Amino acid sequence: MITQLPTSSFSFELVATLGHARAGILHTPHGDIPTPVFMPVGTAGTVKAMTADELRAPPLDARIILGNTYHLYLRPGLDVIAATGGLHGFAAWDRALLTDSGGYQVFSLAAFGEIDDDGVTFRSHLDGSKHRLTPEISIEIQRVLASDIAMCFDQCPPGDADAQTHELAVRRTTAWAKRCLAAPRAPGQALFGIVQGGTDTARRLAHLAELAPLGFDGHALGGLAVGESLADTYRILDEVAHQLPADKPRYLMGVGTPADLEHAIAAGIDMFDCVMPTRNARNGYLFTSQGRVNIPNAANRMDTGPIDPECPCTTCRTHSRAYLRHLYMAKEILYARLATLHNLTFYARHVRRIRDRILREGRPA
């Protein structure tokens, strides 16, 4: 069964600007999303340790989360997801979904045996079984997942790749983008193109010039935070982000720290995803208005205060640092839930504060 998305269409409304920074609204079949927005990562159909109700509840109030083509294709498989009404039905998530194409995971996780101009033959990181992923197959998987936003299948080279590798990746990504556009999608499903090119500004802008006329619903910067220096990441953002089409949403894939998000918003980015708040939470690192807290530190053993006195999340309103440290040291499952809820709330509020400033100090669009 292929799920049909609600009939309302996808569009982007620009509300205000402050320099290159933008405040807008993404209109999707599953609800409106104020931008800039941080999107929690739910790679395998779940944001780790969180229920859908917790993600929806204020002050976190997540309007959109991510799923991943590669992981969901391998496990549980498309037959299971299709039988339950697409990823929305499978995960009991009634708000917007974006699905990554699987391209990054193929190149970073899978031991692939062959990449060619048609696609990639790879072996599963789960059991070593052999699979083929092409632009058409990626879009077909995302059609079954029935996400609100699908991503083009692209080639993402590592940060230290040579110029020849980047040129080949750009050429393939453009060709694959055209094939993704031609492939059938779920009704109402938007499609974003991905700009590659490494840390060479001229190459990035040349690739953007190839993709922009193709008519995507939005554009992403891929291939950053893959091993290049932070200075190079920021330079590419400063030189390229504001040149992405102004009437479409701009998405920075896989980045990053709260400071990274702030820099990228100032450069003109609207959408973000990153595993950092969830992964760091599980590993004992918590984001606060006073800086990062390492919860295992002995200083927290007798600390009866909250993680962050400025945070309204349930964790901070209810539990002390001492209790969270105890849960972490005892390897209690509850720790991951409480810490993840806090970090995701911190990220959501951080981006919303920046949006409020753009609305307050900026110009109406």
Give catalytic residues, as residue numbers: 100, 273
Classify the C-alpha dihedral 125-278-98-147 as positive or negative: positive
Strands ordered across the beta sheet of 11-18:
31-35, 21-28, 11-18, 363-364
- Which pair of structure tokens corresponds to residue 208? 């953007």
Distance (Å, whole) CA 61 – CA 55:
6
For residues 343 and 38, the answer to whether their CB atoms sit within 8 Å is no
One-letter amino acid identity for 348? A
With vertex at residue 5, the alpha carbon angle to CA 4 and CA 10, rounded to the nearest 5 degrees, is 140
Token look-up 């205000």 returns: 16
* Residue 60: closest CA among 248, 317, 263: 317
Distance (Å, whole) CA 150 – CA 181:
11
- Which pair of structure tokens corresponds to residue 71? 């992981």
- Which pair of structure tokens corresponds to residue 134? 């092409």
Distance (Å, whole) CA 222 – CA 244:
13
- Which pair of structure tokens corresponds to residue 54? 């917790």
* Residue 265: closest CA among 249, 286, 289: 249
Distance (Å, whole) CA 226 – CA 240:
17
Distance (Å, whole) CA 283 – CA 339:
9
Token look-up 């780790």 returns: 48
User: Phi, psi (5° rounding) for residue 12?
Assistant: -125, 130
